[in-house]
Amino acid sequence: MFDLAFIAAQEAHEIHAGDGGWWADTAGIMLALPLVAFLLILAFGKRMKYQGGEIAIGALAINALWASVLMVLNMTEGVLTQTTFVIGRIGSGLVFELGWVVDGLSILMYFLVSVVGLLVFIYAVGYMKGDRRLPWFFAAFSLFAGAMLVLVGAPNLVQLIIGWEGVGLASYLLIGFYWEDLANVKAGNKAFLVNKVADVGLVLGAIIVALAVGSFDFFDINEAAISGNAELGAVAVVGALLLFFGAMGKSAVFPLHIWLPDAMAGPTPVSALMHAATMVTAGVYLMARMFPLYQNMAQEARTPMIILGAITLFGAGLLALVAKDIKRLLAYSTVSQLGYMMTVIAAGGYTAGMFHLFTHAFFKALLFLCAGSVIHAVHSNNMSDMGGLRKYMPRTYWTWIAGSLALAGVGLSGFWSKDEILSTLGNEGYQIVMWVAIAGAFVTAFYMARATVLTFHGSYEGEREPHESPSVMTVPLILLAIPTAFAGLLNIPGVSWPVIGNFTEWLAVRIVPMGDHHAESIDWLIGGIGLLAAVAGIAVGWAIFSKDRDSQEDRDLFEIPVFYPLFRRGYYIDDVALGAVGATIGPIARFVDWTNTHILDAIVNGVGMAIKYLGGFVYGIIDQRGVDGVVHGVSAIADGAGSVLRRMQTGQVQQYAASFVAGALILVVVFVFVL
């Protein structure tokens, strides 16, 4: 029934934490609120003034307050508790539980999902105004946030998978929100199917790990990983790689990143939420949650993870260089930044990865909302239709600049988190990867300079007069710009603020803490090199793209032979993947289709025809001629006999009397003479 498990392990690991009191005990309400909002909006959204937007915002506003309280509690004293309810048993020995974890990691995610989600929801009210199916939009949006909260609050792998699939479902619904256009439907399908491929890995990994440990609980699994459980050790590498494969889908790690750029088909607020706090952070969160498994047990799994992460962070950055669609550019940038997080977590930098996730959530949401604001103004996603917008949209421009600088790692929050990633990679001995990451920082700054110049500088190329967006959209931008600028200060290496401490300390409040590397002091050399790379990227980008040309298309002339088509086609991964699917699954599908049409359908059709003819026979011969014939025959006989015999009924009483007498005489004759 009610199984309140206060994890008492904190003393053994010398972590000082409170239990968070009422706020943590009932944190499950946070998980349920957006799901309740989902149902309420479906039921009543149509009749409300903002089409259900007020319910969605209300639910997330409560969540944001709640998460902020938990955040403050965690900053000051630390919060560490887990509440679970036993729902049922899985097989023999495994228990299926639902509940919520409240520790540093999950509080961070609650905070991100709720606060960023709230700002995006408010923005969406302005952005989506007058749109089709608004109640459905807000309902699915609430479902999206709610599923993510279920995911990050999960105390075990089963609930994580439930939230995981809920996020996948909601993203599918939202990417295909404008389903009147076939391309959007296809983008939704692609996202869903690519994620499904990865989910196979997640489910298999969860089962393998849970069977080895005997529990789905993160606490048990991580304890087993730290204490060197032999059974877990036997399957740790396979399980860790399978779980990582699952995370690759949601967190868009090469080569499973192909769904994310296409996911731009959804409304821009969806993209903002998807790239900042929900969906793509799920994979990184899973890696962080299972960190002891990777840190203590499955070291062999870390090399392929780092290699894939490095490919992702650099390769996706190059793709962003040639994107023409501003949202697609930001999408590739997200893929690249996720590559940073995955790489550094795989390299042992738990804090660095989560810190980058934290700052990235703010500035990427900000950039997407800025892009949405621009798209709202010029009614095009294409950067060649923009240009010179800084004069028309000053608020959007300056917040965009803040986001771009943060993303490029020049000052602001992104500098501190990227610096931490670089120094962690260096300290852990991954020098080559560190240089790749520095090159990635150069590329990042380069494409953000390009995007900024093409969008906001030069002369305007579009048709209609652009205008600044309404305050319901610009206020969230400004509110997001604040953490974008200052969130980096929360984790300056070696600096612990009075009362609240720093980010590293908050994250260390974990159900199973682990000794990951985090820098104790500022590494001026690496930080300087990273900053230099970023500034160089901005300078080069500015030099190339800010030249005056006749049109936007000419300004974007950046066609390196061979590489340009390679980048434009996204390394042909889509073609290769579709080709591979076509080559392997295609014949099978065609065979199944042929079997279906020619054999199964033939059988079904044959049986159908046989029954049809049988039915025709039964009706025509047995029923119409046999049964009906008998009935009609009997009635015809009765009819005929009646029409003959009724002539005896003459109405002449004396005739009756005469036949009566005649009959009596016959009887007399018979009795007297015959018998």
Which residues of this protein are in contact with another protein, per CB under 8 A? 646-647, 649-654, 657-658, 661
Q: Which amino acid is at 267?
A: P
Query: Whole-number minimum distance, CB 674 to another protein, in Å?
Result: 21
- Least Cβ distance, residue 631 to another protein (angstroms): 25
DSSP 156: B
Q: Identify which of residues 92 and 649 has a Cβ nearer to another protein in the complex.
A: 649
* CA angle centred on 85, ends 79 and 86, rounded to 5°: 140
Of the pair 464, 647, the CB lying nearest another protein is at 647
C-alpha 442/C-alpha 460 separation (Å) is: 28
DSSP 69-109: HHHHHHHHT-B-EEEEEEEEEETTTEEEEEEEEESHHHHHH
| DSSP letter for each residue of 99-148 | EEEESHHHHHHHHHHHHHHHHHHHHHHHHTTT-TTHHHHHHHHHHHHHHH
Closest to another protein by CB, 648 or 675: 648
Listed residue (64, 104, 83) closest to 507, CA to CA: 104
CB closer to another protein out of 602 and 661: 661
The least CB distance from residue 653 to another protein, in Å, is: 6
Shortest distance in whole angstroms from residue 662 CB to another protein: 10
Residue 394 CB partners (closer than 8 Å, separation 6+): 468
Token duo for residue 495: 């600096």
| CB nearer another protein, residue 594 or residue 660 | 660
- Cβ–Cβ < 8 Å for 512, 420: no
Q: Write down the least CB distance from residue 645 to another protein, Å.
A: 9
Please identify, using beta-carbon distances, which residue of 92 and 654 lies nearer to another protein: 654
CA distance 587 to 589: 5
Q: Which is nearer to another protein, 644 or 674 (CB)?
A: 644
Structure tokens at 236: 């740790």
Q: How far is the CB of 650 from another protein (least distance, A)?
A: 5
In the bound state with another protein, the residue whose beta carbon lies nearer, of 499 and 653, is: 653
Least distance (Å) between residue 622 CB and another protein: 38
Distance (Å, whole) CA 83 – CA 88: 16
- Cβ closest to another protein, residue 92 vs residue 652: 652
Closest-CA residue to 404 (of 354, 364, 359, 377): 364
Taking the CB of residue 573, how many other CB atoms lie within 10 A of it? Answer: 16
- CB 632, min distance to another protein, A: 24
DSSP, collapsed to helix, strand or coil, labels residue 325 as: strand
Task: Identify which of residues 525 and 658 has a Cβ nearer to another protein in the complex.
Answer: 658
In angstroms, give the least distance from the CB of 638 to another protein.
15
| Residue 639: CB minimum distance to another protein, A | 14
Nearest to 336 by CA among 394, 408, 279, 264: 408
User: Could you tell me if 79 and 100 are in contact, meaning their C-beta atoms sit under 8 angstroms apart?
Assistant: no
